[in-house]
Amino acid sequence: MPTRFSLVPQGATIGALVEGVDLRRPCDDELQDELAGALREWKVLFFRDQHLTVEEHAAFAARWGQLTDDTLVASSAPDPVDNVVVFTRDATTAGLENEWHSDGTFRPMPTMGTILRAIEVPEVGGDTLFADMAAAYDNLPPAVQARLVGLTAIHDWSIGAYAGKYGDALAELQAAHPPVEHPVVIRHPETGRPTLFVNRLFTKELRGLPAAEGAALLADLCAMADLPELQVRFRWAPGSIAMWDNVACNHYGANDYFPNRRVMARTTVFSLTHDRVVGT
């Protein structure tokens, strides 16, 4: 049990509100260890009334790993502040995050975590939903779990919204960032827990199965994220923060506020100790 803060569960297996922490202050080793333990257990942590400067946001995030600007062509600036990305969704730039996904599964090792902070939010809409993909695996029928042993999937960034976003240089970027192959069920790098590692936005196909059979199975696996029992939904307010384990959960940014304005600040963290995910 943490001693530096209290946890208020927001979902049955995923999502907890952290109370009693001021992230404007430097995060010491003891606090980070307790937050890390809570993150491993709950997959996503929520904070309220954390009106951080960009510098404070970057300083907190930098304790968790190598910061990156997690676009298709990921980069890591030497100054942590330069890795805090402020982005706006409005009538001109619509949100593309409204599908279940885990960021960067089209890379050999996706990012381990994200810290997202709300700056300006619409009066209605714009929630983010999270689905527990370890619980998703646990809730598969035993026969399906057995069927997934040794099975791998192809992840390709260009099957989703990125294809349109980078359409002017699509062929060049596809050559520079070809599809990758991951186990369908991975052992989480930190907890060792079997975790379903597929998502609708980036998982293209299952390897080693006839096309129709593989497509049907992949659809069934991705649909596990749709189960409300495995989800938590977070309503944003200015100064709210969500910090999530990108490998343990899928997330979905509801685009039900268009054409209203939503401004967020994001930092993303690569693991310093893991360069790929491995199967169970």
| Active-site hit among 107, 117, 155, 266 | 266
Q: Provide the 3-class DSSP secondary structure of residue 264.
A: strand
Count of alpha carbons within 13 angstroms of residue 177, beta-carbon side: 22
Q: Establish whether 101 is a catalytic residue.
A: yes
Distance separating the N- and C-terminal Cα atoms of the chain? 28
- The whole-angstrom separation of Cα 47 and Cα 16 is 9
Mark 193-207 as b/e (b = at least 16 C-beta within 10 Å). bbbbbbbbbbbebbe
Catalytic-residue membership of 251: yes
Catalytic annotation, pick one of 57, 89, 101, 262? 101
177: annotated active-site residue: no
**Which residue among the candidates 89, 117, 177, 251 is catalytic per the annotation?**
251
The C-alpha atoms of residue 231 and residue 253 are separated, in whole angstroms, by 13
Whether the Cβ atoms of residue 56 and residue 24 lie closer than 8 Å to each other: yes
Are the C-beta atoms of 211 and 96 separated by less than 8 Å? no
Of 70, 103, 156, 245, which residue is the catalytic one?
Answer: 103
Catalytic annotation on 155?
no
Is there a contact between 238 and 118 (Cβ–Cβ < 8 Å)?
yes
Residues in the chain: 280
Helix (H/G/I), strand (E/B), else coil: 223: helix
Integer Cα distance of 93 and 91 in angstroms:
6
Could you tell me the CA-to-CA distances from 197 to 148, 212, 249, 277 in Å, in that order?
11, 20, 9, 9
The residues annotated with a catalytic role in the active site are: 101, 103, 251, 266
